Structure 1
């Protein structure tokens, strides 16, 4: 299996991923379920690697995925240069425990 379906239609899942990745890059820390965080981590790491490339083609690829142009600017201007020496592992998952309503495992996903 290549990815988690999370019980969602593909269009809903893609929209949710885009929204969560945009929030992560904007706020640099989000709280979500563990399954979602593991999927978001994969996408965010690829976008940060594109940000490290820094050329126009990379910026356009990121703009296809992230809706907010201010967040794309932040990615290329402040986030990506922080990780210039790092070869990956730009995010960290911190476990919080079970959510009260449905006992889903909650985590904090943050940029290192």
Structure 2
């Protein structure tokens, strides 16, 4: 867990804070969004994102580590860990970070505490980022193909000359036909004048 912020911990002591963060993370993974105070949401964000990073690895050691972090007291959260590894992590596999979003929603009526909604960002990565990744993949594919083309410049020259030869013949034939056509049109006009 990251170093806590300055000031008093959430709850009474470090053990209480760990249990609170574990319960908040379990609720977040179960419901995909929860409403809590801004302070708790800000403290939950790095905790939950680290657990999601472990879930993206998908191996047994990561599963056990997440299970230990979420269910500190009992094993009632095995279903939530399973859901995290099988449903949430694959949806976030293309995302490199920023798995959660905090939105402030105003103050609570009773004690005027600032409230926020923390939710998982399950939308696909923006189209711009997808285009950039496709361009990078295309550049990687083109890079190995370039040395192959450089090894055979003679064959490329022969191919371009062969392609240019029929084009030159067609152009000469078209010019000859164009020159004959106006001459043929002018000849009947000249005969009519006589």
**Normalised by the size of structure 1, how large is the TM-score?**
0.94
Q: Deviation at 1:71? A: 0.4
Give RMSD over aligned pairs.
1.0
1:16 aligned residue = 20
2:43 aligned residue = 39
2:108 aligned residue = 99
Q: 1:53 aligns with which of 40, 54, 57?
A: 57
| 1:25 alignment partner, SS class | helix
Q: Which has the larger radius of gyration?
A: 2
Q: Which runs of 5+ in 1 are unaligned?
A: none
How many residues end up aligned between the 2 structures? 111
Q: Deviation at 1:6? A: 2.5
Q: Deviation at 1:11? A: 1.5
Moved over 3 A (4+): none
Q: Deviation at 1:7? A: 4.8
- Which one has a larger percent strand, Structure 1 or Structure 2? 1
Q: Deviation at 1:90? A: 0.5
1:90 aligned residue = 99
Q: Deviation at 1:84? A: 0.7
- Which one has a larger percent helix, Structure 1 or Structure 2? 2
Q: Which runs of 5+ in 2 are unaligned?
A: 72-76, 122-194
